[in-house]
């Protein structure tokens, strides 16, 4: 997988994301459908830390819920 991250493809940005508080992001894959974390779910970044990111869901049936992402792994709770 790491090898694929270094390949340049025309029209596709590099794999590194630079997030800021207040921006909207959208999930591109299903993570946990029962918690509302599925493909196309939009969220707003509300807090960034060295080891975590907190986002608030802004679409779907779980609007207003907060989600904690670990920066070491893809998702925790």
Tens digit of pLDDT for each residue in 9-21?
A: 787 766 667 789 9
Residue 6 lies in a domain: no
Domain coverage including residue 37: 23-74
Residue 63 lies in a domain: yes
Report whether pLDDT(77) > 60: no
3-class DSSP state for residue 35?
helix
Instruction: Centre a 10 Å sphere on the Cβ of residue 20 and count the other Cβ atoms it contains.
Output: 7
pTM higher than the cut 0.75: no
Confidence category of residue 66, pLDDT binned at 50, 70, 90: very high
Q: What is the pLDDT of residue 1?
A: 52
Tens digit of pLDDT for each residue in 32-55?
A: 888 889 999 999 999 998 889 999
Residue 30 lies in a domain: yes
Residue 18 lies in a domain: no
Residue 7 lies in a domain: no
Q: How many domains does the chain have?
A: 1
Residue 51 lies in a domain: yes
Residue 40 lies in a domain: yes
């Amino acid at each position: 997988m790491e090898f694929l991250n270094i390949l340049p493809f025309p029209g596709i940005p590099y794999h590194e994301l630079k997030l800021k508080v207040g921006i909207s992001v959208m999930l591109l894959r299903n993570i946990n459908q029962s918690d509302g974390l599925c493909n196309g779910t939009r969220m707003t970044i509300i807090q960034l830390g060295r080891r975590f990111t907190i986002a608030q869901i802004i679409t779907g049936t779980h609007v207003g819920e907060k989600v904690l992402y670990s920066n070491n792994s893809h998702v925790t709770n």
